[in-house]
Structure 1
């Protein structure tokens, strides 16, 4: 019987009912102090569920990668063969069956698929995870990744965690357990044989904590005076310590050995006990006192506070002796290193080296969080400063991958104070630079990368620093990188572009792009360089190939960056709905992989879409957290919005600032020169228009992209107020794939023809522009095109273009539908989009009515572009 928990029970029951009746999944994190009743709620939920998977965080196993996942999935490990191969490989590695591991988040995807398959095979599944604050980091990351993606599988995940710094910022819905009110506390004690005075004192001392009520009631008149201002958990701990103190010495020693061993592994425990002349029989009185539960294979403390009382109540010398004995009897190397570390009285290179080996085993299985903690512990036990710095540097690098920026920076600072070797100084510089980049200061990151480049990582750091510098406008870092790495054509090309030498720099970037397309170069870098020179087709192909490869091999952690590149190419191609879906996925992955700071940078990518659509409120929301400095995507989008809304003075002011700003050599700034030409012409500023035209033409002629050459002619037509450049620009636009730019050229040409009193001729480009603007939902530009058509004498309202089918879908539905239309199975779609197969089917079910169809077979007759 649980008292005072009706609301909590109802909420958990509703989740389980939804899973059973509607196959909807649900997640809930119960949070509260020790003894507040979290475990009792989990136990009651498990009693009413037919299929339950359980795991309990064990403090002693928090340094063993995937220890919690082994507990949870042990009953269903025979189902691994049915997983997609990359997921099966990742999960087998996590469970210790194979090595090395893959992307650490591929394990979370495998957990999601496994749970979905298990539910699909036999009905709803309840996963119960108690003491989540003690889960090893690798398990916690995998379970949280899966939990955030549950939707329509019929899986319920219940977590319980204490109020402390562990297991926070999970992104899960939480339910905080409050202390019991006095009436419920008295009901809980009603069956106890207590005098009114003692009962009143217990209620007062327990302060509504259910465990305290039970333990104080069990102590009865022997309960210690609790008038001291101690937390309730500490008073319960003291009560357990007093209870243990009344047991025989041999029993206390056995409890200490069990507490120090931590896992309840009977062979290890008994082997260590034998060295002290005690054994299993000495636990009998502890069992009678309900402190522990002993089976033939394991021992379990009834509550974690009992284990803490047994361990903390022993003197330090006895604890150290027990850990030494446990190290000798340990059944595996990881446990041995943990006990040796607990027994160390000071720095010890032998113990530190053993911990490092354990850390490397965890890293090889993709247990990066666990590996970082072990490296840090190894550093603490390392006597020689340079070796300690090396281990701290390794820990900082791994922690950075988990997105824990403050912790990574703190360790890097500690390491630098120890006089690290040259190679470690470079690694620490990379950590500092990555921290600054993630926090939103890419200019500082680029300087750090270039200044600290050394050792084996020198070339890679210089390349990264140059790209950071190019995208952020920290051009001195680009130039310095080119000096230090003269044999790298891409870095030299960026430096020449930074100096304004477009003709010299562009061909140097074209080479690495071509190599990447041929399969002999880095695709991500190739896609980024393709964006720099406006090579839309190459950027889109390389980004799409890298995304597809990352999905196929489960490289979840790497995808956010390349998805950003893909979204930029999709916007250029006029595929705005696809870009929205891509950015939404990238933001979700950034959050899941510990990089929430990237959300502002990703949101700014969509600012151009909002500007084209004339949605000022949304644009400002998207750029609210865009990284500095000025002149980037945010400012270009604001200027385009002003231009579209006819605010030419504001537009020109912004555009002139971009032309003078630190990012003036970027591709975005070059495109903004086109907007500057139009704004200046409309304001009667021919000198400004000619200067902007000259800048853009030099760039366009260097990159030789059809769309750029078309826009250069577009600018020439505006500056010269002549027809021939318009005609040639439209011809070139037909070879390119930038519909918004084409429609703008057609709109201006139509305006020119109408001003020249050639109204009939004007209608042809204006109708084409109107059709494109309608498809892009470019409201301000659409209004201009309609007004111009009316001015030509076009009779009656224009016939609106049929709305694009994809506009009816959510971003997730769009991704699923595109893949399904290409013949990809639901299981393959699930693997690619990091969802469960049942969630894919759910999205298809929701999308079909919006598309006016009823089955997958009918997708083939829809005019959908490929995924």
Structure 2
């Protein structure tokens, strides 16, 4: 019977009911101190759902270094389902479960495989997934779990997670914090225990509402250690009870506690070396400290295990760990016990830990790799070995998404070595940390300093990476330094030429990079403004990453892709890419991606609060704020912002260069023709060198505004017909229409202004529709009519729905869509069910007739 948990029980019951009746999934993190009742709530949920499929896992402190130990425990009963998963997911899960080699699998593919498997388990009805003591799950299992549960939606899966106060902070999961029991509920816990009123009061005072403390103190009497925290008092009570047991029982409890996993054969084998057997556990079983079932032995509560282990002398623990190491048949368990028995630096044990780390790497358990390498470093017998292993730990932990810890490991390693090759490796780690924090300038400097000491291939990669970081952070000198040292690299040489405004040299080199393909082609196409080519390249890369389950590569790829559909007027596609980039960045431990694109879309819509909420400080956000200023008539503010942006380090890239046209228009409005002339001249040189029709059209529009002549408008509109930037085309229509009106050609003006109004309306560029209507009114069109264009159906969809619909329209099955979008098949079907009425269709066949953008 549970007391004082009505609220939590109701939340769990609601989740279970929603899963049964509506097929919706739900997750709840039960957080609280030791003994607060998390396990009791999980047991209650399991009893409530006894007739449904239940998977359960308990984290064990001893298994934190065993890659995917928790996942194995949970999925072993359903391992036969793994082979039915999509190829990359099945491969990743088989590797995680130790059923196959997985050296080439993506670490997030395990989480995706777990998601699909949970959905499959719930295919015949709701499923309950229980995680107890999540604070002790190995990091690989924890990461897979979080990746999966964040994507649950319509599978009928309920996940309940119990964790200590400090665990899973910032996970973003719905939480219920378990508090101490009220006095009335605490008294009910003690009822029927034949305690005097005085003892009851002392138990209530010392237990302070902790359910486990109430039970233990009620059974054995209060401990009188009131100055200690409740968990420590309960621990002390358990130690006292254990110390009263016969010595063979205490010894066998120590062996069980040191073994940690509850693996009965290992405990029995090790116990035999001390002439102990299971009969020696009898007294502990009678007192309900442990329970033996089948091939498992479990402590009733983790605090009992802690009391049995911590209460033993250190020398005795070492002897026990050595016995367990000798008894172990699993190499991961053997090395764990050998490490626990090490009394100081031991190269043999350190080498074993290093080998275990590499085995974990083969299973893509990157966080466990880092932990094992760190342990190996601690047991290394010389500084060089320690530095090498800490370097490997830093590299792994960075990949696992913990830049702060990676920097700590890298700094410690650097303090132990003077080897220039190793210091170069560490420089790459530290530079990646700096770049992730937004400090590309220092990252580039670090790489340039150490690149000359690295192996040739590594040196070249370091220089290329330095150039990319320097370009991003506006360090033009470092871009040129990297280019001079690389020599024949078209991409970096092109960037270096742009920093000196040598567009005639730089932009063709970027065009060559785009044509040749390769790792820099997408970035080169974006900088060049080759929109369609950038979209094709990025889409192909993203599709390949999705197909292979390479989730870790997608956040940056999607973030770099998102500005392209923005420029092409594919608003919903841009929002979908930015939203997915942000979600995947969170799951992969990276800082937020996609904010700049969302800021641009807010500027187009006239949503100033959303734009102001976006992170500030980068050129792209500043350019978006200037665009909003221009559309709202704040021309002085627009000029001020744009002069900063266009004299800044990013002025040579297409996403910012296009803002030169904004500066021309704003400067003319405040009678600063000198500023406008300079901006137009630079834009024209850039446009001619790039060969992009949209850029030449925008430059011609600016020329028409400066010269107050018609011919450049006509030429610009002709070029717009051959490019795909509808917002820029609409602005040219608006500017031309305004020019025609001022020259009293009202009929011609209305045709242009209506074309602009319809385009702005379609793009949801609210401030610009207002400008077009104002021009129409000025031309004598009374109450300027609303645009005649029909609502864009795709704008009714959520970003997730749009992604699903685009892929479904290509004839891809729900299961394949789920694999590509990192969802479950049932969630895909749910999104389609929600999208059909919004689009006015009733089946997949109808989707093929809709004008859908290319999926990324």
- TM bucket, shorter chain: over 0.9
Give the distance between the partners of 2:853 and 2:316, measured in 1 at CA: 71
CA shift, 1:798, in A, is: 5.2
Correspondence for 1:734: 721
CA shift, 1:766, in A, is: 2.3
CA shift, 1:765, in A, is: 2.6
Aligned with residue 112 of structure 1, among 115, 131, 144: 115
Q: After superposition, where does 1:735-774 map in structure 2 within 5 Å?
A: 735-774=722-761
CA shift, 1:285, in A, is: 1.8
CA shift, 1:775, in A, is: 0.7
Aligned with residue 843 of structure 1, among 826, 831, 840: 831
Pair 1:587-2:582 in alignment: yes
Contact 1:152–1:842 (CA<8 Å) still a contact in 2?
A: yes
Correspondence for 1:36: 36
CA shift, 1:225, in A, is: 2.3
Residue aligned with 2:562, SS = helix
Contact 2:401–2:589 (CA<8 Å) still a contact in 1?
A: yes
Correspondence for 1:667: 654
Give the distance between the partners of 2:654 and 2:387, measured in 1 at CA: 41
Contact 1:127–1:158 (CA<8 Å) still a contact in 2?
A: yes
Residue aligned with 1:598, SS = coil
- State which drifts further: 606-615 or 32-41: 606-615
Instruction: Number of aligned residue pairs: give it.
Output: 848
Give the distance between the partners of 1:828 and 1:296, measured in 2 at CA: 41
Contact 2:697–2:719 (CA<8 Å) still a contact in 1?
A: yes
Correspondence for 2:345: 347
CA displacement, residues 65-120 of structure 1 (integer Å, 9 cap, x when unaligned)? 10000111111111112211111111111111111241111111111111111111
Correspondence for 2:599: 607
Contact 2:358–2:369 (CA<8 Å) still a contact in 1?
A: yes
CA shift, 1:762, in A, is: 2.5
Pair 1:652-2:664 in alignment: no
Correspondence for 1:400: 398
Contact 2:94–2:102 (CA<8 Å) still a contact in 1?
A: no
Give the distance between the partners of 1:810 and 1:224, measured in 2 at CA: 58
Pair 1:293-2:280 in alignment: no
Give the distance between the partners of 2:572 and 2:418, measured in 1 at CA: 50
Contact 1:550–1:556 (CA<8 Å) still a contact in 2?
A: yes
Correspondence for 1:429: 427
Give the distance between the partners of 2:420 and 2:788, measured in 1 at CA: 66
Pair 1:477-2:478 in alignment: yes
CA shift, 1:412, in A, is: 1.4
Correspondence for 1:318: 316
Q: After superposition, where does 1:252-291 map in structure 2 within 5 Å?
A: 252-291=250-289
Give the distance between the partners of 1:429 and 1:369, measured in 2 at CA: 21
Contact 2:292–2:298 (CA<8 Å) still a contact in 1?
A: yes
- State which drifts further: 395-404 or 313-322: 395-404
Aligned with residue 780 of structure 1, among 761, 767, 773: 767
Contact 1:106–1:556 (CA<8 Å) still a contact in 2?
A: yes
Aligned with residue 526 of structure 1, among 521, 524, 528: 521
**How does the TM-score come out when normalised to structure 1?**
0.95
Contact 2:239–2:311 (CA<8 Å) still a contact in 1?
A: yes
Contact 2:264–2:297 (CA<8 Å) still a contact in 1?
A: yes
Contact 2:661–2:702 (CA<8 Å) still a contact in 1?
A: yes
Give the distance between the partners of 2:223 and 2:635, measured in 1 at CA: 80
Residue aligned with 1:160, SS = strand
Correspondence for 2:454: 455
CA shift, 1:506, in A, is: 1.4
Contact 1:577–1:807 (CA<8 Å) still a contact in 2?
A: yes
Contact 1:330–1:336 (CA<8 Å) still a contact in 2?
A: yes
Correspondence for 1:225: 224
Give the distance between the partners of 1:311 and 1:686, measured in 2 at CA: 81
Distance 1:281 1:640, change over 3 A: same
CA displacement, residues 760-781 of structure 1 (integer Å, 9 cap, x when unaligned)? 2223332322221111111222
Give the distance between the partners of 1:794 and 1:114, measured in 2 at CA: 62
Aligned with residue 127 of structure 1, among 122, 126, 129: 129
Give the distance between the partners of 1:606 and 1:236, measured in 2 at CA: 52
Correspondence for 1:21: 21
Distance 1:707 1:293, change over 3 A: same
Pair 1:536-2:552 in alignment: no
Contact 1:438–1:598 (CA<8 Å) still a contact in 2?
A: no
- State which drifts further: 255-264 or 776-785: 776-785
Aligned with residue 148 of structure 2, among 146, 156, 163: 146
Give the distance between the partners of 2:5 and 2:195, measured in 1 at CA: 24
Give the distance between the partners of 2:770 and 2:298, measured in 1 at CA: 73
**How does the TM-score come out when normalised to structure 2?**
0.97
CA displacement, residues 420-475 of structure 1 (integer Å, 9 cap, x when unaligned)? 52232122212222222222323332323333324132211211221121122111
Pair 1:205-2:211 in alignment: no
Residue aligned with 1:606, SS = helix
Distance 1:765 1:171, change over 3 A: same
Correspondence for 2:821: 833
Give the distance between the partners of 1:345 and 1:693, measured in 2 at CA: 73
- State which drifts further: 746-755 or 555-564: 746-755
CA shift, 1:185, in A, is: 1.5
Contact 1:389–1:420 (CA<8 Å) still a contact in 2?
A: no
Give the distance between the partners of 1:36 and 1:659, measured in 2 at CA: 59
Contact 2:183–2:209 (CA<8 Å) still a contact in 1?
A: yes
Contact 2:688–2:696 (CA<8 Å) still a contact in 1?
A: yes
Give the distance between the partners of 1:284 and 1:317, measured in 2 at CA: 25
Give the distance between the partners of 2:843 and 2:580, measured in 1 at CA: 25
Correspondence for 2:138: 136
Correspondence for 2:467: 466
Correspondence for 2:697: 710
Give the distance between the partners of 2:64 and 2:781, measured in 1 at CA: 74
CA shift, 1:795, in A, is: 7.0
CA shift, 1:549, in A, is: 0.9
Distance 1:199 1:792, change over 3 A: closer
Distance 1:12 1:420, change over 3 A: farther
Residue aligned with 1:35, SS = coil
Correspondence for 1:860: 848
Q: After superposition, where does 1:177-256 map in structure 2 within 5 Å?
A: 177-220=178-221, 223-227=222-226, 229-256=227-254
Correspondence for 1:700: 687
Give the distance between the partners of 2:823 and 2:694, measured in 1 at CA: 37
Give the distance between the partners of 1:615 and 1:35, measured in 2 at CA: 49
Contact 1:105–1:556 (CA<8 Å) still a contact in 2?
A: yes
CA shift, 1:414, in A, is: 1.0
Residue aligned with 1:128, SS = strand
Correspondence for 2:608: 616
Give the distance between the partners of 1:598 and 1:11, measured in 2 at CA: 31
CA shift, 1:277, in A, is: 1.8
Give the distance between the partners of 2:459 and 2:24, measured in 1 at CA: 51
Contact 1:470–1:666 (CA<8 Å) still a contact in 2?
A: no
CA shift, 1:640, in A, is: 1.1
Moved over 4 A (4+): 793-796
Contact 2:694–2:719 (CA<8 Å) still a contact in 1?
A: yes
Residue aligned with 2:823, SS = coil
Contact 1:611–1:640 (CA<8 Å) still a contact in 2?
A: yes
Residue aligned with 1:156, SS = strand
Give the distance between the partners of 1:782 and 1:167, measured in 2 at CA: 47
Identify unmatched segments of 5+ residues in structure 2: none
CA shift, 1:557, in A, is: 1.2
Q: After superposition, where does 1:148-167 map in structure 2 within 5 Å?
A: 148-164=150-166, 166-167=167-168
Correspondence for 2:66: 64
Identify unmatched segments of 5+ residues in structure 1: none
Correspondence for 1:374: 372
Give the distance between the partners of 1:541 and 1:319, measured in 2 at CA: 61
- State which drifts further: 716-725 or 152-161: 716-725
CA shift, 1:789, in A, is: 3.0
